[in-house]
Structure 1
Amino acid sequence: MKNILNYAFVLISMMTIASCDRYEDLKVSQPDFDVYTLSDTYNVGDTIRFILEGKADVITFYSGEVGDLQLSFASQVRFGSQENQLRVMASSDFKGNYTEAGINTATWHDITDRFLLGINTTLRPSGTASITDLVIEGHPLYIAFRYVGEASATATQRNWWVNHFKVDVALPGSVSNVALHTSVDWKFVNFAGNATGAGWGWSADGPGGRLLFDPAGSTTYAEGWAIADPIDTDALQPGGVPIKAVIDRQQKEYHYVFNQSGTYNTRFEAVNVTALEEKKATRTISITIEP
């Protein structure tokens, strides 16, 4: 019996040691990694040599470039005679409360003058305009079409159609779409004081369908908002470029070219990883690109 107990003790001890050895094998050390350049100032189009030192399992590069948020659409107008009824609005503090009160408590910026609006029954492209200046970090951006019809028995209210709504992020060498007219879940807020039937809706006619404000022959004040899905402004930050995977050999250099002037806070993230844990080291270099 004593021999059996001794054997069991030895076996358990061996299993414990083996388990500890396996755990030690899965422990991660902090990446021994650094990066530098030969200068902190370059010209547009120069090839920048980032010199990499040390070792890491995975290395990812972030250029520090920020995308340009761009909006475009098309519109047309019919009937009536009132002017300046359609406005393009933007907000970074709207809370998604799709009511008159929710709209009125938010801060909205009128950006209509950045676009061309329809002048007759021909669908008129708005042109593409940057809306990056409206972005507040950490806040989604809401874009809306606001219709205001004034009370009048002589200057009649007009019907407006909006189509081809599109929001893109333009980065050097690439453009990616973040909102498209046909996939947006439009929210309509037609004010309670509107005449019966006056307000925004979705019209199935036209290419892919379109937004329509129908004043329903109103001679009293009418207001309505068509609000697009919030734009995730994190889309302005491009994803990192993987420059080394676990199975890759360690690189000595990484090359990159900036095509626009400015100051960029480039970042390298070096990670050592196992099935149990990971440890990360981040190195940042500020690069000034001159014209």
Structure 2
Amino acid sequence: MVKQLKFNDNMKLKYYVLLVALFIMASCNDEIVILDNPDFDVTTDSLTYKVGDAVAFHITGNAHIISFYSGETLKDYEYHGGRVIDLTGSGATISFKSSVQYGTQENQVSVLASNNFNGDYSSLSAVKEATWTDITSTLILGTNATLVSSGTVDISDLAIPGKPVYIAIKYMTKPQAENGLVKQWFIQEFTINSKKNLENNAGTSPITLTLANQNSMGFQIVDENAENAPARSVVTTNQLTLFGNEYLHEGLEIYNPDNPIYDPNSPIFDPKSDQFDPFARPKAYVPFDPSSPFNDPISEHWAVSGGIDIEKVNLGPDYSTPVKVGIAAAPVELFEYTFKKAGTFDVVFVASNNSIDTTKEVVKKITLTITE
């Protein structure tokens, strides 16, 4: 009798668990719908204010989320889906900073620009098929380890309607036995700006329209001898490092047969040893070949940018200021904002009620005149 009672209790428990699971699954599949738009309104005491006055916005309603667009530059609801600016005929400039260290070779680096490169980075010969204009003489290049500004150089004459502009930095390696070791160059803060600025009614200075920066330039290394005498250049998000191929000669440690890297029993490979190097890998010894043409070749490699569109710029969406940020936030009855410049502004409040599946939105616009 006792055994039968325990069996029935277990069956009941399983039944209840199954019912709960089915209820949760049904709940997850049901769409949560908010039927009504937010109850929301906003008013001001006046439609005209002076620069520096605090404009009081009186808010009523029960909206979960409230956002504010002042109507100023980059804060304008008209561009909440994105702001693309036509720059046709405006022209552009480039600037960067450079420094150099090591080596003794001179005139290794030059800066070039093209408007007919086809984007083929597969080989140096493919890159050279384009027409490249040397603009090095218009720029200031570093002479030591201190970063030096290049100055701002106008490249407007390279603009052709419908064609992007490409920038390349050419690095030449001469035979190092005769010309000395190569230098290592660093390029930072590479910037291409439009010569047209965006008028700024939210502050005192016009807004510079940047077409490309160091991170978005898209530099790629195109190396003449990538397989046999590879350059040591590197592209990162904030720096371009240009460095020629290593000069190979019999005095290098890699040609020393007693180098521990060639001894599989060396303590540098033993995790229990104090000399253990986790990055070391055993290598087979290859003696120096004095007849190899790649020990000390004439070689060049280029850092070539992506195509830069200087006829338009996408600034992305204008952004709002949060006034209320969720259903759990306390109700907001007053919001104040101060305009810094005179003008006529379409102020917009966007109020919304939100669930996982649904958003109901109300947009309220007030046109304000701000005087000096």
Shorter-chain TM range is 0.5 to 0.7
How do 1:143-154 and structure 2 match up within 5 A?
143-154=167-178
Instruction: Give, in whole Å, the separation in 1 of the partners of 2:87 and 2:150.
Output: 31
- Residue number in structure 2 paired with 1:175: 208
Q: How many Å apart are 1:141 and its aligned residue? A: 0.7
- Residue number in structure 1 paired with 2:186: 161
TM-score, length-scaled by structure 1: 0.54
1:83 equivalent to 2:106? Answer: yes
Alignment check: 8 A CA contact 1:144 1:225 kept: yes
- Residue number in structure 2 paired with 1:224: 301
Instruction: Give, in whole Å, the separation in 2 of the partners of 1:64 and 1:155.
Output: 46
- Residue number in structure 2 paired with 1:122: 146
Runs (5+) with no aligned partner, structure 1: 1-61, 237-291
How do 1:280-291 and structure 2 match up within 5 A?
none
Q: Structure 2 residue aligned with 1:233, among 285, 293, 310?
A: 310
Runs (5+) with no aligned partner, structure 2: 1-84, 198-205, 248-295, 314-372
- Residue number in structure 2 paired with 1:74: 97
Q: Structure 2 residue aligned with 1:138, among 148, 157, 162?
A: 162
How many residue pairs get matched? 173
Alignment check: 8 A CA contact 1:186 1:227 kept: yes
Instruction: Give, in whole Å, the separation in 1 of the partners of 2:300 and 2:86.
Output: 45
Q: Please identify which structure carries the higher strand content.
A: 1
- Residue number in structure 2 paired with 1:209: 238
How do 1:88-107 and structure 2 match up within 5 A?
88-98=111-121, 99-107=123-131
Change in CA separation of 1:194 and 1:148 when aligned onto 2, cut-off 3 Å = farther
Q: How many Å apart are 1:108 and its aligned residue? A: 0.5
Alignment check: 8 A CA contact 1:82 1:158 kept: yes
Instruction: Give, in whole Å, the separation in 2 of the partners of 1:100 and 1:63.
Output: 34
Instruction: Give, in whole Å, the separation in 2 of the partners of 1:210 and 1:133.
Output: 27
Instruction: Give, in whole Å, the separation in 2 of the partners of 1:64 and 1:140.
Output: 13
Instruction: Give, in whole Å, the separation in 2 of the partners of 1:188 and 1:169.
Output: 26
Query: Any idea what the Cα deviations from partners look like across 1:22-61, whole Å, max 9, x if unmatched?
Result: xxxxxxxxxxxxxxxxxxxxxxxxxxxxxxxxxxxxxxxx
Change in CA separation of 1:138 and 1:158 when aligned onto 2, cut-off 3 Å = same
Letter in 2 for 1:166: T
Alignment check: 8 A CA contact 1:195 1:220 kept: no
| Regions of 4+ moved over 6 Å | 62-65
Letter in 1 for 2:224: F
Percentage identity across aligned positions? 30
TM-score, length-scaled by structure 2: 0.43
Alignment check: 8 A CA contact 1:88 1:144 kept: yes
Instruction: Give, in whole Å, the separation in 1 of the partners of 2:120 and 2:86.
Output: 37
Alignment check: 8 A CA contact 2:220 2:304 kept: yes
Task: Report which stretch shifted further, 94-103 or 215-224.
Answer: 215-224
Alignment check: 8 A CA contact 1:166 1:177 kept: yes
Instruction: Give, in whole Å, the separation in 2 of the partners of 1:159 and 1:109.
Output: 24
Q: How many Å apart are 1:233 and its aligned residue? A: 2.8
Task: Give the SS at the match of 1:113.
Answer: helix
Task: Give the SS at the match of 1:95.
Answer: coil
Alignment check: 8 A CA contact 1:138 1:233 kept: no
Q: How many Å apart are 1:195 and its aligned residue? A: 5.5
Instruction: Give, in whole Å, the separation in 1 of the partners of 2:211 and 2:86.
Output: 21
| Backbone CA RMSD of aligned residues | 2.7
Change in CA separation of 1:185 and 1:137 when aligned onto 2, cut-off 3 Å = same
